[in-house]
Structures are given as structure tokens and as C-alpha cells.
Amino acid sequence: MNKNYMGIIIIIICSFFLLPHNTYSSSKEDYELQEKCGKRCDEMFRKDYGNGTDNKGMISNYQNHYNKKLNKCFFLIMNTSVSRNKKTNKVESLIMRNLFDVNENKEYGSFVRWSYSFTPNDCRVLEKYCKSESEWDSLVKPYMEE
């Protein structure tokens, strides 16, 4: 048998045995980190927001994501408060979003907007400022999807 073919066959055989093991352990580790992130965020949410509703008109929810590229667990809290303005008798809502790195307990971003306002009162992710909810979503997307 030709030496070149023998070398290629050895490389293929080695790759066959090495790659599945490394892929498996990496995906298993990723899964465990995702699961740990989800559990930690769920515990934090339940502690601070209970079942997600309160008697003052606040509805809360969250999303979590383990970002493999950054090796961080992100926690996106979404609050909406609905109330009636006593002066105008109109129903108003307040939309609030906060993005946190759970393990460092660091806020990455904040979004706040009243329903009667077209522009947010606060809209930022790290040092980047935004002027709309769609801009906020674009700034948050890399943290919550990679």
C-alpha cells in the first residue's frame, strides 16, 4: 500500500475516534452550563418576583441565556406596570427591561418607556444608548442569542 494512503487512513481513523468524544463532552458541558444558568435565573426571579404578578398591576417575566461565546449567564427581566392616571382617568403602562450578567451581578442594560411617550426615558446597553425599543432589542440580541 502506498505510504500516502496509509497516512491518510491513519488520520481518518484517529479523527473518527477523537472527534465524537470531544464533540460529546463539549456539548454535554454546554448543556450543563445552560441548565445551571436557567436554574439560577429561575431562583432569582422567583425570589424577587414570585409568580410574576403583584397586586399593584405589575406583570413580570424573564428570559435567560447562557452565552457560550462570552461564557456568561444573562438574565433579561421584563416588567410591565399598568395603572390608571387619577388626573386623566386614562390607563397607562410602564415598560421596563433590564439585562444582567447573573454571575457577576452586573447590569448590562436598561430600557424604560411610558405608554404615552414615543421615546424611552432610559435606553442603553453598556455604553451604547438607544432611542427606541427596536434599537434596544438590537443591542440586547447578541447577548441573548449567541
Residue 10 inside a domain? The answer is: no
Residue 73 inside a domain? The answer is: yes
Residue 121 inside a domain? The answer is: yes
Condensed to tens digits (0 to 9), the pLDDT of residues 10-20 reads 444 433 344 34
Residue 18 inside a domain? The answer is: no
Residue 28 inside a domain? The answer is: no
Residue 50 inside a domain? The answer is: yes
In the predicted model, what is the mean pLDDT of residues 45-53?
92
Higher-pLDDT residue of 131, 1: 131
What integer pLDDT is reported at residue 7 of this predicted model?
47
The pTM of the full predicted model, rounded to 2 decimals, is 0.77
The tally of domains found in the chain comes to 1
pLDDT at residue 85 is higher than 60:
yes
Segments forming the whole domain that contains residue 136: 33-145
Q: How far is CA 102 from the centre of its chain?
A: 10
Condensed to tens digits (0 to 9), the pLDDT of residues 92-105 reads 999 999 999 999 99
**Contact call for residues 113 and 99 (beta carbons, < 8 A):** no
Strand order in the sheet with 128-129: 58-67, 72-84, 91-101, 106-114, 122-125, 128-129
What integer pLDDT is reported at residue 72 of this predicted model?
95
Residue 27 inside a domain? The answer is: no
The CA distance from 15 to 12, in Å, is 5
